[in-house]
Amino acid sequence: MENINEKDHSPLANLDVWEDDVLQRYPEEGPAKKKEEFRNYDSPERDSVREFYRLNHKYQTYDNVLAKKANFLKFDKKEMPWWQAMEYLNTLVDDSDPDISLDQLQHLLQTAEAIRADGHPDWFVLTGFIHDLGKVLCLFGEPQWNVVGDTFPVGCAFSDKIVYPEFFAANPDIHDERFNTKYGVYSHQCGLDKVNMSWGHDEYLYQITKDYLPEPALYMIRYHSFYSQHREHAYDHLLSAHDQEMFKWVDKFNPYDLYSKSPKPPVVSELKPYYEDLIAKYLPATVKL
């Protein structure tokens, strides 16, 4: 891989910029518009988002994913109680965000509390609470394009349904005959468990929690940023029938992640005992990162 300059690490002012862009692409409600109007990425205020995806699409290669798995799935960076890890995530807060003053922990509590208010199972509530913990990758020196962003399979042709598909022209995998066909290294409806996804916080947290949470929760964690599939159905040819069934849970989860933000902060001290008990019910006492 080419050398990555310091300026390539953080084109976004903060990690929430990516999620705000997703909201503009996929608004929950409002006046009817043509899909192409929601996919207008040429406005000046989106320059940082364009730069983020230029880097993401250039560097998210099959070899990059394998290298990151080999590094981070050793889980040898830190070990701490889960709540402490959530507080550690708060060091990612960026005061330059003018739209909302909530830290990462408060946003996750808002997501989880919205799920709880709708009467979903407690493992669903826990999933909402921890689903962004993988963003601690930024605190281990990972550039933003290797932490957030829409996720997609690597090892096969990149779909034109992925945001900014033109930026894949700089990705070396498009010139590799192993990877540049519709199926690449995969086979028809082989199942996503056999597919390598682009590296980021979704895959990382899935690998941390895969032995502890119910399967629907794991699908929510692993694929909540796979917008080209659950919004565009771009990779139906790789999904198994079981994947299709499990994606109903991803569809249930995403509105809580995207649309539960509010400037009113939750009272952390009041909620902490409930979530510590919930963590203890499903997860080990400490998390290895």
Angstrom CA distances, 186 to 15, 71, 160, 175, 242, stand at 32, 24, 18, 17, 17
CA 46 to chain CA centroid, nearest Å = 19
CA 11 to chain CA centroid, nearest Å = 17
pLDDT digits (tens, 9 = 90+) for 29-84: 544 344 444 344 455 347 899 999 999 999 999 999 999 999 999 999 999 999 99
pLDDT value of position 94 = 45
148 DSSP 8-state letter: S
Q: Mean pLDDT, the chain, as a whole number?
A: 89
> Average pLDDT in the 88-108 region?
67
pLDDT value of position 101 = 54
Sequence ranges of the domains in the chain: 6-288
Q: Give the position of tokens 């952390």.
A: 268
Q: In angstroms, rounded to a whole number, what is the distance separating the alpha carbons of residues 132 and 15?
A: 11
Which has more pLDDT, 38 or 161? 161
Q: Please determine, for residue 277, whether its predicted confidence score (pLDDT) is greater than 90.
A: yes
**88 confidence band (pLDDT: 50, 70, 90):** very high
pLDDT digits (tens, 9 = 90+) for 185-223: 999 999 999 999 999 999 999 999 999 999 999 999 999
pLDDT digits (tens, 9 = 90+) for 230-259: 889 999 999 999 999 999 999 999 999 887
- Does an H or E element contain 194, and which? none
- Global pTM value: 0.90
